[in-house]
Amino acid sequence: MTEDTEVRGSGWLSSDQLEGAREALPIVYVDVVPVRVDHTGTITHVGLLLRARPDGSISRAVVSGRVLYRERLRDALLRHIEKDLGPMAIPRLPTSPVPFTVAEYFPDPSVTGFHDPRQHAVSLAYVVPIDGEANVSGSALDLAWVTPEEATGPDVVFEMTGGQDRLVRLALAASGRLP
Amino acid sequence: MTEDTEVRGSGWLSSDQLEGAREALPIVYVDVVPVRVDHTGTITHVGLLLRARPDGSISRAVVSGRVLYRERLRDALLRHIEKDLGPMAIPRLPTSPVPFTVAEYFPDPSVTGFHDPRQHAVSLAYVVPIDGEANVSGSALDLAWVTPEEATGPDVVFEMTGGQDRLVRLALAASGRLP
Amino acid sequence: MTEDTEVRGSGWLSSDQLEGAREALPIVYVDVVPVRVDHTGTITHVGLLLRARPDGSISRAVVSGRVLYRERLRDALLRHIEKDLGPMAIPRLPTSPVPFTVAEYFPDPSVTGFHDPRQHAVSLAYVVPIDGEANVSGSALDLAWVTPEEATGPDVVFEMTGGQDRLVRLALAASGRLP
Amino acid sequence: MTEDTEVRGSGWLSSDQLEGAREALPIVYVDVVPVRVDHTGTITHVGLLLRARPDGSISRAVVSGRVLYRERLRDALLRHIEKDLGPMAIPRLPTSPVPFTVAEYFPDPSVTGFHDPRQHAVSLAYVVPIDGEANVSGSALDLAWVTPEEATGPDVVFEMTGGQDRLVRLALAASGRLP
């Protein structure tokens, strides 16, 4: 989960204030598992970003980010998808606001298995079919579309940290596509 | 729920045999609530068909029909959508096979409120966004796109029978769009 | 949504700090629609609290409250249920963390229809069957168990504000019990 | 999926008629993944039956069976749970009729991965917490309660056929407990 500093005037947080809030409150996030689907809605591929992590290592991750003050979830989803997949990606947001899972990220990795050293984040996770052209954008280094079998295979799982591999498995399971 | 007689050779039912099965087994159905959505996935309109009923009356209904032997649910959804909305309609089938509700239609209207005088049907109900052009097709007389407010208002509810009005309310509720 | 001031040392918010955060971040909440069910899991009654509101008026509401820093959702659910329904209530928490809806409360009532003048809250809403004895507790004035028909009828709806009546309808719809 | 012959008079099927229907219609089933939960609703154990299969082999399986004509899903769930886990098991049926997945069993194992050589079955699958005492009953040979880790481990998976291992993984995923 990455994010740019926001200082947009009244009601918005400075970098310092955001640090402070992160030590005192759970933060609202969205996770998006981008997928390609065929005409029957069946998932054919999962989109995984390649990201540099704060410790200098590199890992695979889904689209993710914070929900801003007075921002609707749907608008946060669109904003983060455009940020990571570029303006030519056409996301098909679900009609329902119900996530396929709620991932609770804790600074302590033993609580839920979802881990974020910076904060306690409560993340609503959605599967979003992407039409159009998705291009790596923002802070990601690469975007790869892999099959459900590849996404749950040992090679890719090895490149994911913080529970991202489990999030992808839960997304595929909710879609009936967990191998 | 309407449906044409099927006689496609071995493994398929004659009209008589289908009648027999309907007195002995629950029949698998799908219900589709067709919707128009904006770019954020929010439902703007619900599509309602105008159908002649066996008793000569006319009522509003959603897309509905039987799942055939050896037919996948996704294929049944596509087939019934094309039958009722025409070949120019582009349905965005959900990635998940999980319906927003399961409507149990009984010959006795008092059991669940979902009523079908011909049979006991177990219907998996889905909200399906429709792109492209939907045209009334098959046995329907008309197709109207109404707002969620209209779809749950007294005028439209009055034209729906067998629990179809409740099915539409459940679909809007699952999408967070029940007024 | 009500809540006591929390000052539990490092990492916790003073009343002032909580005020500050509420003007800069969406706050994570849980809503619980307490229900009585029969042995088939069918909802027979919905529990509604009677609460005094900040403006002195009185309204019906479901169980609701903030998720604390480093608190799991399941623990927040248990804490708020015990706070509002007393220690003799035995909640049957769902196995799944997936809420039946996500209610986005905004200071501006026109955004989603869910309204909280104090804050932007993102609330994960669950239906929770209650066994044992539920007694009004905490800051609530009364607890009434009403049928689904009563809970969605004009008398009760008239006593609910901020979108609580809609939340109850969505809960009943998700359970197939919306009249 | 096992089941006794039913001949209960008018409207019910003889063994021969059921065979005929199975070659012409999808059959409505329910699958139940029985679980033990702690007081927070977290799954601690999954119940797996040991069954003799028609070919003489032995395999692990969840509770499963047909929905009868004019039988509500909730009543079918209770009937099959009592049949397989005995009368002292106290199932906590979900308030919602929405299954965690829909398993489409085909005579051809390549269609969906869910396989039943006898029939095309459309099975609504539920996670059901069991209180009280569950005892092996009916046609099962044994009942074992295993942890989520064991239920998804190679030893147990090896003993499951027809896609039952995948069904258990989907159940655990829907509950946020897939390892």
**Residue C6 is which amino acid?**
E
Whether B99 sits inside 8 A of D98 (CB atoms) is: yes
In a domain, A10, yes or no: no
Q: Is the pLDDT of residue C50 over 60?
A: yes
- Out of B6-15, B51-60, D123-132, D147-156, pick the least confident: B6-15
Which pLDDT band holds residue D12 (cuts at 50, 70, 90)? Answer: low
Q: Is the pLDDT of residue D7 over 70?
A: no
Give dist(CA B175, CA D34) in Å, integer: 29
**Which pLDDT belongs to residue A61?**
93
Whether A40 sits inside 8 A of B95 (CB atoms) is: no
CA atoms within 13 A of residue B9's CA, in its CB half-sphere: 0
**Which pLDDT belongs to residue B10?**
44
Q: Which residues contact C177 (CB under 8 A, 6 or more apart)?
A: C42, C43, C148, D95
Give dist(CA B96, CA A100) in Å, integer: 9
**Which pLDDT belongs to residue B57?**
80
Task: Give contacts of D166 with chain A, Cβ < 8 Å.
Answer: 178-179
**Residue A142 class from Cβ within 10 Å (0-12 exposed, 13-18 middle, 19+ buried)?**
exposed
In a domain, C80, yes or no: yes
Task: Give contacts of B174 with chain C, Cβ < 8 Å.
Answer: 173-174
**Which pLDDT belongs to residue B8?**
40
**Which pLDDT belongs to residue C16?**
77
Q: Which residue in chain D is spatially nearest to B96 when comparing CA positions?
A: D101
In a domain, B20, yes or no: no
Give yes or no for a contact between C72 and C119, defined as CB atoms under 8 angstroms apart: no
What is the mean predicted confidence (pLDDT) over B71-85? 97
- Out of B7-11, D56-60, D113-117, pick the least confident: B7-11
Q: In terms of C-beta distances under 8 Å and separation of at least 24 residues, what long-range contacts does B114-120 make, across chains too?
A: B114/B162, B114/B163, B114/B166, B114/B167, B115/B161, B115/B162, B115/B163, B116/B1, B116/B162, B117/B54, B118/B22, B119/B22, B119/B27, B120/B22, B120/B25, B120/B26, B120/B27, B120/D69, B120/D70
D44 lies within 8 A of chain C by CB? no
pLDDT tens per residue, range C135-149 = 888 788 999 999 999
Give dist(CA A32, CA C74) in Å, integer: 23
Q: Is the pLDDT of residue A7 over 80?
A: no
Tokens 């066996």 belong to residue: B54
B31 against B17, higher pLDDT: B31
A176 lies within 8 A of chain D by CB? yes
- Out of A80-94, B74-88, D4-18, pick the least confident: D4-18
Q: Residue D33 belongs to what domain range?
A: 19-174
Distance of CA A145 to the CA centre of its chain: 15
Q: Is the pLDDT of residue D169 over 90?
A: yes
Residue D107, domain CATH: 3.90.79.10
D178 lies within 8 A of chain A by CB? yes
Average pLDDT, chain B: 90
In a domain, A44, yes or no: yes
Distance of CA D5 to the CA centre of its chain: 18
What is the mean predicted confidence (pLDDT) over B31-46? 98
Whether B72 sits inside 8 A of D102 (CB atoms) is: no
What is the DSSP code string of A148-168?
HHHHTSHHHHHTB-TTHHHHH
A147 lies within 8 A of chain C by CB? no
Give dist(CA D68, CA A71) in Å, integer: 49
Vertex D6 angle, CA D1 and D9, to 5°:
155
**Which pLDDT belongs to residue B95?**
97
In a domain, C136, yes or no: yes
Whether A97 sits inside 8 A of C102 (CB atoms) is: yes
In a domain, D89, yes or no: yes
Task: Give contacts of B176 with chain C, Cβ < 8 Å.
Answer: 101-102, 170
Whether C173 sits inside 8 A of B176 (CB atoms) is: no
In a domain, D9, yes or no: no
What is the mean predicted confidence (pLDDT) over B115-141? 93
**Which pLDDT belongs to residue C4?**
41
Task: Give contacts of A92 with chain B, Cβ < 8 Å.
Answer: 41, 92, 129
Q: Which residue in chain C is spatially nearest to B174 when comparing CA positions?
A: C174
Q: What percent of chain B has pLDDT over 90?
A: 75
Give yes or no for a contact between C27 and C66, defined as CB atoms under 8 angstroms apart: yes
Q: Is the pLDDT of residue A114 over 90?
A: yes
pLDDT tens per residue, range C91-128 = 999 999 999 999 999 999 999 999 999 999 999 999 99
**Which pLDDT belongs to residue D41?**
97
Nearest to B174 among C102, C174, C179 (CB): C174
Three-state secondary structure call for residue D114 = coil
B98 lies within 8 A of chain A by CB? yes
Average pLDDT, chain C: 90
Three-state secondary structure call for residue A24 = coil
**Which pLDDT belongs to residue C15?**
77
Which pLDDT band holds residue D2 (cuts at 50, 70, 90)? Answer: very low
Strands D121-132 and D27-37: parallel
Whether A98 sits inside 8 A of C97 (CB atoms) is: no
In a domain, D6, yes or no: no
Whether D12 sits inside 8 A of B25 (CB atoms) is: no
Q: A touches which chains (3+ CB pairs under 8 A)?
A: B, C, D
Q: Is the pLDDT of residue D33 over 90?
A: yes
The phi-psi region of residue C163 (left if phi > 0; otherwise alpha if psi is between -120 and 50; otherwise beta) is left
**Which pLDDT belongs to residue B18?**
78
What is the mean predicted confidence (pLDDT) over A154-161? 91
Which pLDDT band holds residue C60 (cuts at 50, 70, 90)? Answer: very high
Tokens 């029939």 belong to residue: D119
**Which pLDDT belongs to residue B5?**
40
What is the mean predicted confidence (pLDDT) over A60-88? 96
Q: How many domains is chain C built from?
A: 1
Distance from CA of D142 to the nearest CA of B (A): 31
What is the DSSP code string of chain B?
--------STT---HHHHHHHHTTS-EEEEEEEEEEE-TTS-EEEEEEEEEE-TTS-EEEE-EEEEPPTT--HHHHHHHHHHHHH-TTEEE---SS---SEEEEEBSSTTTTS-B-TT--EEEEEEEEEEEE-----TT-SEEEEE-HHHHTSHHHHHTB-TTHHHHHHHHHHHTT---
Distance from CA of C38 to the nearest CA of A (A): 26
Tokens 């986005």 belong to residue: C104
Q: Which residues contact C22 (CB under 8 A, 6 or more apart)?
A: C118, C119, C120
A55 against C178, higher pLDDT: C178
Distance from CA of A56 to the nearest CA of B (A): 35
Task: Give contacts of D102 with chain A, Cβ < 8 Å.
Answer: 176
D113 against A137, higher pLDDT: D113
